[in-house]
Amino acid sequence: MRAVADVSAGVVHGSVEVAAPPERVFRALTDPVQLAAWWGAPDQYRTHDWRLELRTGAEWSCQATNADGEGATVHGRILTVEPPTLLELTWNPSWEPPGETTIRYELSPTPSGTRVVVRHTGFTRAESCQGHAQGWDRVLGWLAAHLAR
């Protein structure tokens, strides 16, 4: 598992291999109950109140609360839905200056499960791109741990 920032291009590339079939991984990425269960860690932040309708053009959102009790929101819209191999959506976090980015998840079967490739594009600030790469390292780890249970 690894996420790397290409600051000059404003892109984060990440990937992880998980021991679950693509259908199960896709559900973990799109089911609000599962998202709240795995996206976050008590010593960092927890996500909750996920709202996600799985259709192109639909809006999605979630809330997050950090270990100090401070809240944040993220919202966007669904751009592409092709279960169980592709999901693309926009990302607008409350903690960043205005500037929408795009996340693309590509899932492909492997002999032992699924390879998840994440491409997060549209960063205009180097600090944001680097910070999101660090965040994707954590998120992909949480996803892999959730699917290993």
Say what percent of the chain tops pLDDT 90: 95
Say what percent of the chain tops pLDDT 70: 99
Residues 48 and 145 sit within 8 Å (Cβ to Cβ): no
Residue with tokens 């976050």: 40
What element of type H or E holds 137?
Answer: helix 126-148
Predicted pLDDT at 129: 96
Average pLDDT of the chain to the nearest whole number: 96
The CATH number that domain 2-38+79-148 falls under is: 3.30.530.20
Predicted pLDDT at 99: 82
114 exposure class (CB count in 10 Å sphere: 0-12, 13-18, 19+): buried
Give the mean model confidence (pLDDT) for residues 82-95.
97
Predicted pLDDT at 96: 86
